[in-house]
Amino acid sequence: MQIERPKAYRVDLIEHERGWGSKVDDRIYFDNEEEAKEYIRKYNAKNDKPYVPDWYMTAEGPYKL
């Protein structure tokens, strides 16, 4: 039997929508800060338009638990 240790960092996936504001859409947990930061960098890399779209997602954090 394998014992799972608690995760140490959380990344929030935030949904942004013009006229409605923003909300936490999902939370992802990581064992270490480096993994969390790399996930955030890769996730947010797709937000490369020269304007702000009506709807988009971002990853924010990492937050130490």
* 29 burial type by CB count under 10 A (0-12 exposed, 13-18 middle, 19+ buried): middle
Could you give the CA distance from residue 30 to residue 36 in angstroms, rounded to a whole number? 6
**Which amino acid would we find at residue 13?**
L
Residue 1 pLDDT exceeds 70: no
pLDDT band for 2, please (50, 70, 90 cuts). low
pTM of the model: 0.85
Q: Quick one: tokens of 55?
A: 């709807």
pLDDT at 5: 64
Could you give the CA distance from residue 30 to residue 47 in angstroms, rounded to a whole number? 22
